Chains A and B, each alone.
Chain A
Amino acid sequence: MLLQLNNIFKWVQQGGQRIFLLKDINLEVEEGEFISIMGPSGSGKSTLLNVMGMLDTFDEGEYSFLDEPVHQLKEKHRANLYKQYIGFVFQAYHLIDELTVYENLEMPLLYKKISGSERKAMVADMLDRFNIVGKKDLFPAQLSGGQQQLVGVARALIGKPKLILADEPTGNLNSKQGEEIMELFKQLNEEGVTIIQVTHSEKNAEYGKRIINLLDGRMV
Chain B
Amino acid sequence: MLKNHLKLSLRNLWKNRLLSSLNLLGLSIGIGSVLTLLFSVYAYYSADVKIEDQGNIYFFKTITTGGDSYRESPYPLMDKIVETSPQVIAATHLHGWGNMWLEQGEKELQERTDYVDAEFFEVFSLPLKYGDTESALEKKYSIILTDRVSQKLFGNKNPVGAKLIGADSLNLTVTGVFEPISPYSSFRLGVIMPNDILKDNSNFVSQANWGNSFSPSYFRVRAGTDLAQLENHVNQLAQNNYVDPTIIAGMKAVPYSESRMDAIPVVKIIINGCIAASFFVLLIVLVNLLNLNTSTMFRRTKDITVRKILGGSKKNVIAQFCIENGILVLISIVISGVLFLGFLLPAMNNIFGADFGKIAFSFENDYVVILAAIALGVLMTLVVGVLPTLRFISVPISIGIKGKIENIKSNFFLKNSFIIMQFAIAILFICVAIILNSQIGFMKNADVGFNRENVIVGNIDLDYKDIETANFNFEALLDDLNANPYVENISTSESIPSDYYFNYTTYHDPNTGRDVRFRRSYTDVGYLKTLQIPIMSGRDFDENMDSSEDNPVIINRSAMEAFGWTSIEGKRLKFKNHDSEGYPIVGVMEDFHYQDLQNSVEPLVHFYKKKEDLAIHRYLSVRVMEGQEKSIHDMIVSAFAKIDSRRNYEQAYLSEKVSGQYRLIEGMLTTVNVVALLTIFISCLGMFGLISFMAKRRIKEIGIRKVLGAGVLKIVVLLSKDYIILVGIATLIAFPAAWYLMNAWLGSFAYSISIQWWMFALGGLIAFLIVSLTLSIQAVKSASVNPVKSLRTE
Contacts and interface: CB of A to CB of B under 8 A. Distances in A.
Interface of A: 47, 50, 55-56, 79, 82-83, 88, 90, 94, 96-99, 103, 106-108, 110-112, 155, 159
Nearest to A116: B3
Nearest to B1: A110
B721 interface: no
Contacts of A55: 309, 397-398, 401
A56 B398 contact: yes
Contacts of B303: 96
Interface string B313-342: 100100000000000000000000000000
Given A107-B307, A107-B310, A90 B401 contact: yes
B93 interface: no
Given A79-B311, A99-B11, A111-B311, 12 more contacts: A55-B401, A56-B396, A56-B398, A82-B309, A83-B310, A83-B311, A98-B12, A103-B7, A107-B4, A107-B307, A107-B310, A111-B312
5 closest residue pairs by CB, A with B = A111-B311, A83-B311, A98-B11, A55-B397, A56-B398
B1 A94 contact: no
B401 A108 contact: no
A82 B309 CA distance: 8
Contacts of A83: 310-311
A103 B1 CA distance: 11
A111 B310 contact: yes
B306 interface: yes
Nearest to A76: B313
Contacts of A107: 4, 307, 310
A112 B311 contact: yes
- Count class of interface residues, chain B: 20 to 34
A108 B310 contact: yes
Contact of A98 (B15, B309, B311, B398): B15
8 contacts: A56-B396, A83-B311, A94-B302, A94-B306, A96-B306, A103-B4, A111-B307, A111-B312
B41 interface: no
A97 B307 CA distance: 12
B401 A99 contact: no
A99 B10 CA distance: 11
Main DSSP-derived SS at the B contact region: helix
B664 interface: no
Interface in B285-312: 302-303, 306-312
Nearest to B312: A111
A218 B310 CA distance: 30
B8 interface: yes
B398 A88 contact: no
A155 B308 CA distance: 14
B386 to A, nearest CB: 20
A77 B500 CA distance: 83
Contact of B8 (A47, A82, A99): A99
Contacts of A96: 8, 303, 306-307
Given A96-B303, A103-B7, A56 B316 contact: no
A50 B396 CA distance: 11
Interface of B: 1, 4, 7-8, 11-12, 15, 302-303, 306-313, 316, 396-398, 401
A99 B309 CA distance: 16
A176 B137 CA distance: 100
Nearest to A50: B398
A209 to B, nearest CB: 26
A50 to B, nearest CB: 5
A88 B309 contact: yes
Contacts of B11: 98-99
Nearest to B299: A97
Nearest to B11: A98
Contacts of B396: 56
Contacts of A99: 7-8, 11
A83 B310 CA distance: 7
Nearest to A57: B396
Contacts of A88: 309
Nearest to B308: A79
A96 B8 CA distance: 10
Nearest to A95: B306
A110 B398 contact: no
A55 B4 CA distance: 25
A89 to B, nearest CB: 11
A97 B12 CA distance: 9
Nearest to A158: B310
Given A96-B306, A98-B11, A103-B4, A111 B316 contact: yes
Given A98-B11, A107-B310, A111-B316, A56 B401 contact: no
Nearest to B14: A98
B397 A56 contact: yes
Contacts of A108: 310-311
Nearest to B309: A88
B202 to A, nearest CB: 86
A102 B113 CA distance: 75
A110 B8 contact: no
A99 B4 CA distance: 9
A27 B486 CA distance: 112
Given A98-B8, A98-B15, A103-B4, A155 B398 contact: no
Nearest to A167: B401
A94 B316 CA distance: 18
A79 B393 CA distance: 14
Contacts of A110: 1, 4
Nearest to B403: A92
Contacts of A98: 8, 11-12, 15
Contact of A94 (B4, B15, B401): B401
A157 B378 CA distance: 39
Contacts of A159: 311
Which of B11, B302, B310 has the most chain A CB atoms inside 10 A of its CB? Answer: B310
Nearest to A51: B398
A208 B429 CA distance: 69
Contacts of B4: 103, 106-107, 110
Given A99-B8, A110-B1, A155 B401 contact: no
Nearest to A53: B309
Contacts of B7: 99, 103
A82 B310 CA distance: 9
Contacts of B306: 94, 96
Which of B11, B12, B15, B311 has the most chain A CB atoms inside 10 A of its CB? Answer: B311
Contacts of B312: 111
A102 B303 CA distance: 17
A79 B310 CA distance: 10
A112 B313 CA distance: 10
A83 B311 CA distance: 5
B400 to A, nearest CB: 10
A48 to B, nearest CB: 12
A195 B307 CA distance: 22
A37 B1 CA distance: 37
Contacts of A79: 308, 311, 313
Contacts of A103: 4, 7
B774 to A, nearest CB: 28
A158 to B, nearest CB: 10
A167 B308 CA distance: 17
A107 B303 CA distance: 12
A155 B15 contact: no
Contacts of B15: 97-98
